[in-house]
Amino acid sequence: MSLDEDLEEAAAAGVGLPAGLGLRRARAWLSRAVEPGTIDFWRYVEDVGPVEAVRRLRSGRAPERIRSLVGARAEQDATLADLTRAERCGARLVVPEDDEWPALPLHALTLAVSAEPREPANQSDRTKAPVPPLALWVRGPARLDELVDRSVAIVGSRASTAYGEHVAAELGHQLGERAWTVVSGGAFGIDAAAHRGALAAGAPTLAVLACGVDRPYPAAHGALFHRIAETGLLVSEWPPGCAPLRHRFLVRNRLIAALTRGTVVVEAAARSGAQATARRAQDLGRQVLVVPGPVTSAMSVGCHELLRDENLQAVLVTSAAQVVQAVGRIGDDLAPPVVGPTSLRDGLGDLAARVLDACPVRAGASPERLAAIAGCDVLEVLRVLPVLELADLVEWTGTGWRVAPPSGRKGGPGAAA
Amino acid sequence: MSLDEDLEEAAAAGVGLPAGLGLRRARAWLSRAVEPGTIDFWRYVEDVGPVEAVRRLRSGRAPERIRSLVGARAEQDATLADLTRAERCGARLVVPEDDEWPALPLHALTLAVSAEPREPANQSDRTKAPVPPLALWVRGPARLDELVDRSVAIVGSRASTAYGEHVAAELGHQLGERAWTVVSGGAFGIDAAAHRGALAAGAPTLAVLACGVDRPYPAAHGALFHRIAETGLLVSEWPPGCAPLRHRFLVRNRLIAALTRGTVVVEAAARSGAQATARRAQDLGRQVLVVPGPVTSAMSVGCHELLRDENLQAVLVTSAAQVVQAVGRIGDDLAPPVVGPTSLRDGLGDLAARVLDACPVRAGASPERLAAIAGCDVLEVLRVLPVLELADLVEWTGTGWRVAPPSGRKGGPGAAA
Nearest of A156, A167, A228 to residue A189 by alpha carbon = A156
ipTM above 0.95, yes or no: no
Q: Which residues of B touch A161 (CB under 8 A)?
A: none
Q: Averaged over A204-217, what is the pLDDT?
A: 95
Whether B76 shows a pLDDT value over 80: the answer reads yes
Of the two residues B366 and B329, the one the predictor is more confident about is: B366
Last residue of a domain, one of B280, B300, B330: B330
pLDDT band at B292 (very low <50, low <70, confident <90, very high): very high
Q: Is the pLDDT of residue B362 over 90?
A: no
pLDDT the model gives residue A363: 82
Q: Quote the pLDDT of residue B216.
A: 86
A115 inside domain? no
Cross-strand partners of A152:
A182
Residues B181 and B313 reside in one and the same domain: yes
Bigger pLDDT: A140 vs A119: A140
Q: Confirm if A249 and A185 have CB atoms less than 8 A apart.
A: yes
Task: Flag whether pLDDT at A234 surpasses 50.
Answer: yes
Least confident of A190-194, A355-359, B206-210: A355-359
Looking at the fold, whether B313 and B213 belong to one and the same domain comes out as yes
Cis before B294 (ω within 30): no
User: Domain with B283 in it: what CATH number?
Assistant: 3.40.50.450
Where in the sequence is the domain holding B398, given as residue range(s)?
Answer: 336-416
Instruction: Judge if B211 and B291 occupy the same domain.
Output: yes
3-state SS, B355-372, equals HHHHCCCCCCECHHHHHH
Share of chain B above pLDDT 90, in %: 65
Residue pLDDT, tens place only, B250-266: 999 999 999 999 999 99
The three-class DSSP label of residue A146 is helix
Q: For residues B42 and B131, is the Cβ–Cβ distance under 8 A? A: yes
pLDDT at residue A14, as a whole number = 61
- Which of A249-253, A256-260, B182-186, B342-346 has the weakest average pLDDT? B342-346
- The percent of residues in chain A predicted with pLDDT above 90, rounded, is 65
B295 contacts on A by Cβ (under 8 Å):
167, 291-293, 318-319
Distance from CA of A94 to the nearest CA of B (A): 39
The answer to whether residues B270 and B367 belong to one domain is no
Q: Average of pLDDT values for B88-94?
A: 96
Q: Are residues B216 and B260 in the same domain?
A: yes
Position A223 in a domain: no
The conformation of residue B130, written as its DSSP 8-state character, comes to: -
Residues in chain B: 417
Residue B306 lies in a domain: yes
pLDDT tens column, A23-62:
999 999 999 999 999 999 999 999 999 999 999 999 999 9
Phi then psi for B234, rounded to 5 degrees? -100, 130
Do B289 and B342 lie in one domain? The reply is: no
**Per-residue pLDDT tens digits for A271-304:** 888 888 899 999 999 999 999 999 999 999 999 9
**Domain presence at residue B125:** no
Beta strand segments in B47-156, E: 91-94, 136-139, 151-155
Are B296 and A167 in contact (CB < 8 Å)?
yes
Q: Which of A342-346, B37-41, B129-133 has the lowest mean pLDDT?
A: A342-346
List, for residues A381-413, the tens digit of each pLDDT value.
Answer: 887 887 788 777 888 887 888 888 765 443 333
Partners of residue B301 in chain A, C-beta under 8 Å: 318
pLDDT of residue A209: 97
Collect all residues from A whose CB is shorter than 8 A from any CB in B: 163, 166-167, 270, 291-296, 300-301, 304, 307-308, 315-319, 322, 375
Strand, helix or coil for residue A337: coil
- For residue B298, the one-letter residue type is A
Q: How far apart are CA A275 and CA B10, in angstroms?
A: 67
Q: Say if residue B268 is in the same domain as residue B312.
A: yes
Q: Are residues B313 and B404 in the same domain?
A: no
- H helices of A14-102, where? 21-33, 39-48, 50-58, 64-70, 79-88
Which residues are CB-contacts of B263 (< 8 A; sequence separation ≥ 6)?
B152, B153, B154, B155, B256, B257, B277, B278, B281, B286, B287, B288, B289
Q: Is residue B5 part of a domain?
A: no
Last residue of a domain, one of B330, B352, B367: B330
pLDDT for position B106 = 95
Cβ contact, residue pair A292, B296, below 8 Å: no
| Closest among A300, A322, A320, A252 to A280, alpha carbons compared | A252
Backbone angles phi, psi at B236, to 5 degrees: -150, 150
Do residue B307 and residue A307 have CB atoms under 8 angstroms apart?
A: yes
At B53, the pLDDT band (50, 70, 90 cuts) reads very high
B257 burial via Cβ count (<10 Å: 0-12, 13-18, 19+): buried
- Top pLDDT among B412 and B273 is at B273
CB hemisphere CA count around B230 (13 angstroms): 10
Average pLDDT, integer, range B126-155:
95
> What CATH number does residue A374 fall under?
1.10.10.10
Q: Which residues does A68 contact at the CB level (< 8 Å), separation at least 6? A: none
List, as own/partner pairs, every contact residues B408-414 make where C-beta atoms lie below 8 angstroms and the sequence separation is at least 24, other chains included: B409/B340, B409/B341, B409/B344, B410/B340, B414/B344, B414/B390
Do A134 and A283 touch, CB atoms closer than 8 A? no
Task: Give the Cα separation of B317 and A304 in Å (integer).
Answer: 8
Measured in angstroms, the CA of A240 and the nearest CA of chain B are apart by 40
B271, part of any domain: yes
Q: Taking the alpha carbons of A322, A327, A329, A335 in that order, is the dihedral positive or negative?
A: negative
Q: What are the residues whose beta carbons fall under 8 Å from the beta carbon of A200, sequence distance 6 or more?
A: A169, A172, A173, A176
Q: What rounded mean pLDDT belongs to chain B?
A: 88
Identify the residue with better confidence: A257 or A9: A257
Predicted local distance difference test score (pLDDT) of residue B402: 87
Q: How confident is the model at residue A332 (pLDDT cuts 50, 70, 90)?
A: very low
Cis bond before residue A239 (omega within 30° of 0): no
- Is residue B305 within 8 A of residue B375, CB to CB? The reply is no
B164 & B302 share domain: yes
Q: Are residues B324 and B232 in the same domain?
A: yes
Residue A92 · residue A138 · CB < 8 Å? yes
Chain B positions contacting chain A at CB under 8 Å are 163, 166-167, 270, 291-296, 300-301, 304, 307-308, 315-319, 322, 375
Helix (H) or strand (E) holding B209: strand B205-209
| Most A CBs within 10 Å, among B295, B297, B308, B313, to test the A interface | B295
| C-beta pairs of B220-226 under 8 Å, 24+ apart in sequence | B220/B188, B221/B186, B221/B188, B221/B192, B224/B186, B224/B192, B224/B195, B224/B196, B225/B186
**CB contact at 8 A, A200 and A175:** no
CB contact under 8 A, B294 and A375: no
Contacts of A300 in chain B (CB under 8 A): 292
Percent of chain A with pLDDT over 70: 91
With H, G, I as helix, E, B as strand and everything else as coil, classify residue A224. Answer: helix
Q: What distance in Å separates residue A40's CA from the closest CA in chain B? A: 37
DSSP code, position A17? S
Dihedral over alpha carbons A269, A272, A273, A274 (to 10 degrees): 40
pLDDT at A158 over 80: yes
pLDDT band at A15 (very low <50, low <70, confident <90, very high): low
Please say which residue of B330, B349, B372 terminates a domain: B330
Q: What is the pLDDT of residue A41?
A: 96
Whole-number Å distance between alpha carbons of A202 and A196: 10
pLDDT tens track for B114-132: 889 988 888 888 888 899 9
The verdict on residue A408 lying in a domain is: yes
Residue A405 lies in a domain: yes
Give the residue from B363, B344, B365, B342 showing the smallest Cα distance to B355: B365
Q: What are the two backbone dihedrals, phi and then psi, of residue A244, each rounded to the nearest 5 degrees? A: -80, 75
Do both B142 and B192 map to the same domain? yes
Whether B411 and B267 share a structural domain: no
**For residue B306, pLDDT beyond 70:** yes
Average pLDDT of the segment spanning B4-33: 83
- For the ranges A231-235, A350-354, B80-84, the lowest mean pLDDT is seen at A350-354
Structural domains counted in chain B: 2
CA distances (Å), A205 to each of A140, A310, A325, A332, B381, in order? 10, 32, 20, 23, 46
Among the residue ranges B143-152, B201-210, B348-357, the one predicted with the least confidence is B348-357
How many angstroms from the chain centroid is the CA of residue B276?
17
- Contact assessment for residue B151 and residue B180, using Cβ atoms and an 8 Å cutoff: yes
Listing DSSP states for A277-292 in one string gives HHHHHHHTTPEEEE--
Residue of B nearest to A164 (CA): B294
